[in-house]
Amino acid sequence: MQPSTAVDTANHPLPDDLNGWALFIDIDGTLIDLAATPESIVVPPELPSQLMKLSQKADGAMALVTGRSIAAVDAMFEPYHFTVAGLHGAEIRRENAEILRKGIEAAALDRPRMMLQKFASRWPGMVIEDKGLGLAVHYRQVPEAAIPAAHAVDGLVKDLGYGWKRQDGKMVIEIGPAGTNKGIAVAHFMETAPYAGRKLLVMGDDLTDETMFRFANETGGRSVRVGDPPFESIAEFKLDSADTVRSWIATMVARQ
């Protein structure tokens, strides 16, 4: 099924009334525009408060689902602390409660961290992002390093053994905990209030979002892809850009 690009009121993939919806939104490439490095992204100053209002209008049934750590998300959207599935679901925070993390030791990444930094030194422009329970190799500024980076990550994942996996995204390859993904995280949220019983809406832009698209499709929800990825997506609907998502949020929170 080809993604729909309809934007009229009747067929727009994003609802004009949040009553009965549960919202799960990716961050990079979906809420905010992608940048050369993770640190150089720009969060529009009005977005944090708009997200809080959006959550309130959805009766709290909104969560951010991201590859970033929860600590990084909090820094991006301060002073607000949202419900978040971080590190592609390896850590979860429900309604400002204690963070639940995958039961693995971050110290296992000490050697991979050192090896990746050494590897990156041979590729000016490559960025190694340390997520605590994960490591990300960003090669957006050196696309010719894609294959060598994949080989380096594959070797380290093999050495780490059980409990770890390789995760690919847009111009990034990650090492992270196995047995987790965004789809599993969304399923976890949907089992309990305030999400249970609501119609599911998921929004994302990257390969890592395909698992939550699949879960939404299989459970009668709505899957919305943002932008044009370099792969065939299973999302049912398509939006042009993160700016379109932000415009929708601004419209929704401005309504009385």
Tell me the per-residue pLDDT of 127-166, one tens digit each, with 9 for 90 and over. Answer: 999 998 899 999 999 999 999 999 999 999 999 998 899 9
φ and ψ at residue 25, rounded to 5 degrees: -125, 125
Give the pLDDT confidence score for residue 256 in this predicted structure.
Answer: 65
> According to CATH, where is 3.40.50.1000 located in the chain?
21-102+180-254
So what CATH class is 106-177? alpha beta
Alpha-carbon dihedral 207, 41, 227, 153, rounded to 10 degrees: -20
Enumerate the β-bridge partners of residue 66. Answer: none
SS3 state of residue 166: strand
* DSSP-assigned letter for residue 132: S
Catalytic residues: 26
Q: Is the pLDDT of residue 103 over 70?
A: no
> According to CATH, where is 3.30.70.1020 located in the chain?
106-177
State how far the Cα of 42 lies from the Cα of 39, in Å rounded to an integer.
Answer: 9
Q: Are 201 and 23 in contact (CB under 8 A)?
A: yes
SS3 state of residue 34: coil
Q: Is the pLDDT of residue 3 over 70?
A: no
- Percentage helix, strand, coil for the chain under 3-state DSSP, each rounded to 5: 35, 20, 45
Tell me the per-residue pLDDT of 50-73, one tens digit each, with 9 for 90 and over. Answer: 999 999 999 999 999 999 999 999
Q: Which two tokens stand for residue 88?
A: 């592609």
State how far the Cα of 106 lies from the Cα of 176, in Å rounded to an integer.
Answer: 10
Give the pLDDT confidence score for residue 99 in this predicted structure.
Answer: 84
Strand ranges, E, within 151-230: 164-169, 172-177, 199-204, 222-226
State how far the Cα of 249 lies from the Cα of 245, in Å rounded to an integer.
Answer: 6
Mean pLDDT across the stretch 206-212?
A: 96
Give the pLDDT confidence score for residue 11 in this predicted structure.
Answer: 57
Pick the CATH number of 21-102+180-254 from 3.40.50.1000, 2.60.200.30, 3.30.1330.10, 3.40.640.10: 3.40.50.1000
Tell me the per-residue pLDDT of 10-42, one tens digit each, with 9 for 90 and over. Answer: 357 999 999 999 999 999 999 999 998 888 999
